[in-house]
Amino acid sequence: MSREHISASSLRGYLWISPAAAMLILVLALPMIYSLKASFTASSLLSPGSEQDFVGWSNYWQTLTDPEYRMAVVTTVAYAILAVSIELVLGTFVALMLNETFFLTPVLRSAWIVPMVVTPAIVGLFWILLYDETHGIFNYALVKLGFSPVPWLDVNHAFTSIVIMDVWQSTPFFALVMLAGLQSRNEEILEAARVDGASPLQCFYYLTISHLMPYMLIASSFRIIAAMGDFDKIYMLTAGGPGLVTTTLSIQTYKVGFNTFDIGRTAAMAWLFLLIVLIISGPLICYLGKTSDAER
């Protein structure tokens, strides 16, 4: 192709991408820039005129030195990583299961889609009942099986409970991604390896797992980012309590924004939030970028 043709292509390319770019700038970038400016002021909705009140780094400093903020960071990161790790393992098992041959395949596979698509806010709201110590069916089942009831939403268990809730909702996502991975496996290589005398364990590890690796990376990076921003279902279930054990960064940001209407502080928290998510998911994304490029 001639050079002109290539440049014209590029120009057209930018044209084709411009609506998307425009939307992203208007709806995402502009508010973030506004946020950035506001984060250096004492802007508060309850004090008109406070947007002009320049305070430098004080909002950031106050946030970073606030022990409750640091707790929220730990809670958020722990929640995301713990939940995703469990979902990855569980999801792979479910995928292996769904990959077998059986009857009613579409029905059985479709069933797993359900938790993924139920509104997260409803999940959070309804699991209040499921986790209820006396009215909930979880404890009813435990007691029937001979165990003692668990106070799911008390200070020692609430964090685990929100992880379990997310595992329930998001494992199907991992399962279905892994299933796609398993189905794109090259059966011949597997067969050849078995014929060559490789043990099932070796087959599994070297062939299946390594084949699934990119799928795992995609699903994990997608879900870690989403989990760190999870708001609806945690807020509905515990509103961040008891104490601060389930207060994630998004819940804390919401509270500062909508209870105190302290815009400056909220804005600082928003930018710090972005930074933290970048730090946590960055390595994963980079690795993903490298491997997908290598394939090309």
Partner 1 sequence: MSSTQKALLKKLVVTAAFFGIGVFYLIPYIWLVLTGFRMTVDTLAIPPRFIFAPTFSGFKYIFGPVRFQWYLLNSFVIASIATFVVILVAAPAAYALVNLGIRAKTFLYSIIVARMIPAVSIVVPIYLMAIKLGLLDTYQILIAIYATVNLPFAIWMMRAFFRDVPPSLREAAIIDGCSEFRVFRSVFMPISAGGALATAVFVFIACWNELLFALVLTNSKAATAPLAMVNFRTDWGIQWNAIGAGAVVLSTPVIVFAVAMQRYLIRGMTMGSVK
Partner 2 sequence: MGLTRRGFVGALAAAPVAANAFAEQAVDAVPPLSRKYAGTTLRVVFGTGSSWDAINPVSQEIAAAAGIRLELTLANYNDRYSKMILDASSGANAFDCYALAYQWKYEAAQFLADLGDADKIEGAAPLDLADYPPNLLDAYGKVDNRLIALPLIGDVTFFVRNMEAFKGAKLPLDPPPKTWKEVFTNAQKLKSNRWIGYSMPAGKSIQTAVIWMLLLHENGGKYFDAKNMPQFNSRESLDAIHFMTNELESVSVPDNLTWDYPQVVTAFTSGQAAQSMIWASSFGTVVDPTRSEVSDKVVWSASPGGSLLGGWGVAVNRRSRNLDAAKFWASWLTSTPMTRRLVPLGGTPCRRSAYKYPAFVARYPQYPAMLAALEGDLLTYPPVPQAEQLHIVIFDELNAAIARTKSPEQAAEDMQHKAMDFMTKRGLIRQ
Residues that bind partner 2 (CB under 8 A): 45-46, 48, 128, 132-135, 151-155, 158, 237-243, 258-261
- Name the minimum Å distance from CB 11 to partner 2: 42
Return the one option of partner 2, partner 1, none that residue 72 interacts with (CB less than 5 to 8 A, by type): none
Calpha distance 235→227 (Å, rounded):
13
123-147: b (≥16 Cβ within 10 Å) or e? bbebbeebbbeeebebbeeeeeeee
When the beta carbons of 210 and 259 are compared against partner 2, the nearer one is: 259
Calpha distance 133→145 (Å, rounded):
16
Instruction: Report whether 245 contacts 182 (CB < 8 A).
Output: no
- Binding of partner 1 at residue 127 (CB under 8 A)? yes
Among 74, 89, 129, 209, binds partner 1 (CB under 8 A): 129
Calpha distance 182→84 (Å, rounded):
20
Calpha distance 188→42 (Å, rounded):
65
Residues 10-49 close enough to bind partner 1 by CB under 8 A: 10, 12-17, 19-21, 23-24, 26-28, 30-32, 34-35, 38
- Binding of partner 1 at residue 60 (CB under 8 A)? no
Calpha distance 10→225 (Å, rounded):
31
Return the one option of partner 1, partner 2, none that residue 48 interacts with (CB less than 5 to 8 A, by type): partner 2
The region that residue 121 occupies, defined by phi over 0 for left and psi between -120 and 50 for alpha, beta otherwise, is alpha
When the beta carbons of 88 and 158 are compared against partner 2, the nearer one is: 158
| Cβ neighbours of residue 153 closer than 8 Å, sequence gap 6 or more | 128, 131, 133, 161, 237, 238, 242
Among 52, 103, 201, 259, binds partner 1 (CB under 8 A): 103
When the beta carbons of 13 and 243 are compared against partner 1, the nearer one is: 13
- Name the minimum Å distance from CB 134 to partner 2: 6
Among 73, 151, 231, 244, binds partner 1 (CB under 8 A): 231
Instruction: Report whether 161 contacts 153 (CB < 8 A).
Output: yes
Return the one option of partner 1, partner 2, none that residue 273 interacts with (CB less than 5 to 8 A, by type): partner 1
Return the one option of partner 2, partner 1, none that residue 93 interacts with (CB less than 5 to 8 A, by type): none
- Name the minimum Å distance from CB 106 to partner 1: 7
- Binding of partner 1 at residue 122 (CB under 8 A)? yes
When the beta carbons of 204 and 258 are compared against partner 2, the nearer one is: 258
| Residue 68 per-residue DSSP state | H
Q: Following CA atoms 242, 245, 246, 252 in sequence, which dihedral angle do they give, to the nearest 10 degrees?
A: 100
Return the one option of partner 1, partner 2, none that residue 153 interacts with (CB less than 5 to 8 A, by type): partner 2
Among 151, 229, 241, 242, binds partner 1 (CB under 8 A): 229
Cα(first)–Cα(last) distance of the chain, in Å?
A: 21
